[in-house]
Amino acid sequence: MTATPLLSLRGIGKAYGPVVAVREVDLDIFAGEVVAICGDNGAGKSSLIKVISGAEEATSGTLQMRGKEVIFASPHDALSHGVATIYQDLALAPRLSIAQNVFMGSELTRPLLLPFLRVLDKKRMAQEARGFLKQLSVTVEDMDRPVERLSGGQRQAVAISRALRWKAEIIIMDEPTAALGVKETALVLDLIRRLKADGRTVLLISHNMRDVVALADRVVIMGAGRKYVDQALGDLTADDLSHMIMAGNARAA
Amino acid sequence: MREIIGRYGTALAGLTLIVFFVAFAPNFATTMNIVNVLKDTSFLAILAIGFTLALIVSELDLSIAEVASLSAVVTGWLIQGQQHPALAVTAGLLVGLLCGAANGYGVTVLRVPSLIMTLGIAAIAKGFAFMITQGVAFVGRWPTGFTGLARGYSFGIPNLVLWLTAVTLLTYGLIKWTRTGAHMVATGEADEAARLSGIATARMKRIGLLLTGLCAGITAVLLAANLSSAAPNMAGDYLLYAIAAVLLGMTMFEPGKPNIPGTVFAALVLKVLGNGLVLMGAAYYVQDIVLGVIIIGSVAFSASALKKAAFKV
């Protein structure tokens, strides 16, 4: 491919004291792709994601966005560069409303009486939150409803809405279907297809090879902190992927 | 219906209590008594609003009473030394802010749990209060420019009630209508989620604890002005009452969540209860027993309201 990658990792390493979780990973993500990152527990997927999402800084290596070096020292840095992460535990506040969750950390305000006095624009936030959910084909009427009263799939939609709110180009999803039932999983897979159709780039971390086969354009397989497979999905089946992961484990051992 | 009972049940119970005392407690419904109850409520409510702000960012501040005592002592010391009231008041508020800042620093930078940090600051504040006073109270004929802050009236309304109104509206506005408030609430509700959403959670905790200290300072200045005296243990009894007000308040309006209107109304209910019991001839220690029951009952109740909100709709 000749196009400049949207996001490039060069020689990324992450160590926790003496424990090395990620070693020398190079990875290019192109706009509009769905890239699945697979690997067994302890393969280094989560640590790699934490580096890309700004939750933790890499111990070595560099990140580039569109060919320019960037430093993600905090989740806020990553978000403002258009990289949003949806964590396994969703990182939602269960008792807060849908609107409060979607706009958490990036609330809309309007001026009140005095030019420097700005108050929350709750009406617009509710309106826009409803819009994001609609875009994801999820209809919930009441934006004041606490997230704890939503189904698992709806919660994913709220979490994705937050990423949309940040105008994220790259959306990282950590095990989005791990805790869900069959119907909810179908809903979430559909949400991811919608994001792709919308031209967004998705980095999918999953243990579920069927999800990966259903969604990914490209698979990256990690083992013992290294990337050892990076190829287009092509005709690979879920079984093939499982074998590749196990082969990687064998090599790492 | 269940939702209404969850939100307003204890508030209605409190209202019923007030009506009961109006009807049956001798001399309860006199203007003087009601004004006294309202004035008394103001000290407690402002201090309890402080505790609420700490709890909103999910921290405990057990130093509020000792910090208030120290603030009062510093204020009284300066008034006694013939300093200008404005200077004395500023110093009192600064003591509150300083202690609040220390709590925030300890919790977010030194990473000492707030339970321990604020107990430590409470002990330190107590020590300083006794050091400054050498164990005795500052008492005197203090200038009305100072005492008027608490004893005076404006537009026919006791100044204390106006101070309480101002503090209530400002803090409610902050929490409900500003970005900082939204960030504080998010920090308290889900620290990690807030951090991952780009919120400066440590800063929010510092702001919460700083404002708690400020509320303690305001309470202290008003207490000293009202009594024309400042003693090193003058606010000691307020801690448990403030906690009771906040917990009882959490059973109202926004069940399970610390909230300003709940705290203020609960403070009023507690003061009415104390006053009514005394007027009906109950012994002074009955109040303490009732207070303990309210503290335990509120938490038991609001926890169940929480479960209801989560699973039964």
Say if residue A17 is in the same domain as residue A51: yes
For residue A24, give both structure tokens.
């020398």
Q: What is the pLDDT of residues B238-294, one digit of tens each?
A: 999 999 999 989 888 888 889 999 999 999 999 998 899 888 888 888 888 988 888
Residue A135 domain-assigned (yes or no): yes
Nearest alpha carbon to residue B263 among B215, B303, B196: B215
- Paired with A25 in beta bridges are A12
Q: What is the C-alpha to C-alpha distance for residues A244 and A151, in angstroms, rounded to an integer?
A: 34
Q: Decide: B302 and A95 in contact? Cβ < 8 Å.
A: no
Query: Which of residues B310 and A12 earns the better pLDDT score?
Result: A12
Q: What is the mean pLDDT of residues A154-179?
A: 87
Q: Decide: B215 and B47 in contact? Cβ < 8 Å.
A: yes
Residue A88 domain-assigned (yes or no): no
Give me the amino acid identity at A209. Answer: M
Q: Decide: B94 and B216 in contact? Cβ < 8 Å.
A: no
Say if residue A78 is in the same domain as residue A41: yes
Residue A232 burial class via C-beta count within 10 angstroms: exposed 0-12, middle 13-18, buried 19 and up: exposed
In angstroms, what separates the C-alpha of A93 from chain B's closest C-alpha?
A: 5
Sign of CA dihedral B186, B187, B189, B190: positive
Say if residue A218 is in the same domain as residue A251: yes
Cβ contact, residue pair B182, A100, below 8 Å:
yes
CATH number for position B117 = 1.10.3470.10
Q: What does DSSP say about strands A34-38 and A201-205: parallel, antiparallel, or unpaired?
A: parallel
pLDDT score recorded for residue B307: 45
B310 touches chain A (CB under 8 A): yes
Q: What is the C-alpha to C-alpha distance for residues A29 and A4, in angstroms, rounded to an integer?
A: 9
Residue A89 domain-assigned (yes or no): no
Task: Please list, in sequence order, all residues whose beta carbon lies within 8 angstroms of the beta carbon of residue A61, skipping any fewer than 6 positions away.
Answer: A9, A10, A11, A12, A13, A24, A25
B313 touches chain A (CB under 8 A): yes
Residue B218 burial class via C-beta count within 10 angstroms: exposed 0-12, middle 13-18, buried 19 and up: buried
Q: What is the C-alpha to C-alpha distance for residues A148 and A89, in angstroms, rounded to an integer?
A: 13
H helical segments located in B81-143: 85-108, 114-133
Give the distance between the most distant pair of CA atoms in chain B: 62
pLDDT score recorded for residue B306: 43
For residue A234, give both structure tokens.
């092509």
Say if residue A46 is in the same domain as residue A143: no
Cβ contact, residue pair A91, B257, below 8 Å:
no
Under-70 pLDDT residues of chain B: 1-2, 303-313
Q: What is the pLDDT of residues A196-242, one digit of tens each?
A: 888 899 999 988 888 888 888 999 888 888 888 888 888 888 888 88
Is it the case that residue A156 has pLDDT exceeding 80? yes
Structural domain of residue B46, as residue ranges? 2-311
Nearest alpha carbon to residue B52 among B266, B301, B268: B266
Token pair 């105008």 is at which residue? A167
pLDDT score recorded for residue A90: 65
ipTM of the modeled complex: 0.84
Say if residue A52 is in the same domain as residue A11: yes
Which of A96, A104, A144, A149 should we substitute to test contact with B (largest number of B Cβ atoms within 10 Å)? A104
pLDDT score recorded for residue B43: 96
For residue B102, give both structure tokens.
């220390």
Structural domain of residue A50, as residue ranges? 1-82+169-253
Nearest alpha carbon to residue A100 among A144, A141, A166: A144
Residue A66 domain-assigned (yes or no): yes
Token pair 């400042």 is at which residue? B230
The total number of structural domains in chain A stands at: 2
CA dist list (Å): A181 to A177, A184, A195, B175: 8, 5, 21, 37
Final residue in a domain of this structure, among A140, A168, A196: A168
* % of chain A surpassing 70 pLDDT: 96
Cα B39–B41–B45 angle (5° rounding)? 125
Q: What is the C-alpha to C-alpha distance for residues A54 and A76, in angstroms, rounded to an integer?
A: 7
Residue A110 domain-assigned (yes or no): yes
CATH number for position A188 = 3.40.50.300
Q: What does DSSP say about strands A226-232 and A218-223: parallel, antiparallel, or unpaired?
A: antiparallel
Say if residue A10 is in the same domain as residue A40: yes
Residue A87 domain-assigned (yes or no): no
The total number of structural domains in chain B stands at: 1
Final residue in a domain of this structure, among A168, A198, A232: A168
Contacts of A120 in chain B (CB under 8 A): 176-179, 181-182
pLDDT score recorded for residue B218: 98
Q: What is the pLDDT of residues A62-121, one digit of tens each?
A: 999 988 899 998 888 898 899 998 887 768 999 999 999 999 998 999 998 887 889 999
Cβ contact, residue pair A91, B192, below 8 Å:
yes
Residue A160 domain-assigned (yes or no): yes
Contacts of B190 in chain A (CB under 8 A): 91-94, 96
pTM of structure? 0.87
Q: What is the pLDDT of residues A122-147, one digit of tens each?
A: 999 999 999 999 888 888 889 999 99
Nearest alpha carbon to residue B69 among B240, B242, B244, B236: B236
pLDDT score recorded for residue B241: 92
Interface of A with B (CB under 8 A): 53, 55, 74-76, 79-80, 85, 87, 90-96, 100, 104-107, 109, 118-120, 146, 148-149, 162
Cβ contact, residue pair A104, B194, below 8 Å:
yes
* Number of alpha carbons in the 13 Å side-chain half-sphere of residue B148: 7
In angstroms, what separates the C-alpha of A107 from chain B's closest C-alpha?
A: 6
Say if residue A78 is in the same domain as residue A199: yes
Say if residue A175 is in the same domain as residue A247: yes
Residue A202 domain-assigned (yes or no): yes
Final residue in a domain of this structure, among A146, A168, A190: A168
